[in-house]
Structure 1
Amino acid sequence: MNWLLVIAGAMVGAPLRYLTDRAVQSRHDTVFPWGTFTVNVVGCLVLGVLTGAVTAGTASSEIQLLLGTGLCGALTTYSTLSYETLRLAEEGARFFAAANAVAGIVAGLGAAFTGAAVAQAMWA
């Protein structure tokens, strides 16, 4: 039964990732992959809040499977971050490649920590 929760979350997360990526990227005339950056940071924030809620006992393991593993797992994409960084470097946009790698990881971790802190403030 748990796998159905993961599938249900992923069925929402995957198209949400694609649509958000396209919507964000279409608004920026730059080689920097703002769409992927956005979905990764938002997903990390949601996962941080969710983890804090589960730790505080206000969210169940089923919600964690649905939203954390399913939705956030399909929404965020480390592989695309890696691919886009490599593509930028190969195309000679080395500054953007370095900025994508560093900013993606730092912002993602920051969003996860912020989400967990917000959850702890709300439910602890």
Structure 2
Amino acid sequence: MITVLTALAGGFGAAARFLVDTLVARHSRLSVPLGTLVVNVSSCFLLGLVTGWLVGHTPGSPLVAILGVGLLGGYSTFSTASVEGVRLIREGRPWSALVHAGGMLAGSLVASVLGLALTM
């Protein structure tokens, strides 16, 4: 049953990713893919919250797999970020690719630590 719930949560996460990415891209005037950055940073923050809360309060809970692996695994999209980085390089914008990748890495790390810190 946990496997089915994890898979369903992954589908909901992927749908949420599409909606958030589309909404951000529609309102962004930047030439870099801001939607992917927002999705991945928010995913890391939420994963920090889920991990800190569930592991700290209910260790071994199946919600860790359902929410962490399923929902947030489906929501995050680091593979798309890699493709976008390559696209920026191929367009002759290596600095944009570096800023995009570096900003996503730094933002995601800070967001996950913040999520963990808020649960302690």
TM exceeds 0.5? yes
Q: How high is the TM-score relative to the length of structure 2?
A: 0.94
- Normalised TM-score (structure 1): 0.91
How many residues in Structure 1 have an aligned counterpart in Structure 2? 120
Q: Distance in 2 between matches of 1:40 and 1:80?
A: 10
2:119 match: secondary structure: helix
Q: Which runs of 5+ in 2 are unaligned?
A: none
CA distance in 1, matches of 2:30, 2:109: 24
Q: Distance in 2 between the 1:84 and 1:118 partners?
A: 31
| Deviation per residue, 1:68-121 (Å, 9 max, x gap) | 10110010011111110110011012221001110111111110000000011x
Give the RMSD, CA atoms, in angstroms: 1.3
Q: Distance in 2 between matches of 1:4 and 1:61?
A: 16
Structure 1 residues 16-36: Cα deviation after superposition (integer angstroms, max 9, x where no partner): 001110100111122211100
State percent identity of aligned pairs: 34
Q: Is the 8 A contact 1:20 1:35 kept in 2?
A: yes
Q: Distance in 2 between matches of 1:19 and 1:46?
A: 17
Task: Give me the whole-angstrom Cα distance separating, in 2, the residues matched to 1:28 and 1:80.
Answer: 18
Could you tell me which residue of structure 1 aligns to residue 112 of structure 2? 112
SS in structure 2 at match of 1:61: coil
Tell me what 1:44 maps to.
Answer: 44
Give 1:81-120 correspondences, 5 Å limit: 81-120=81-120
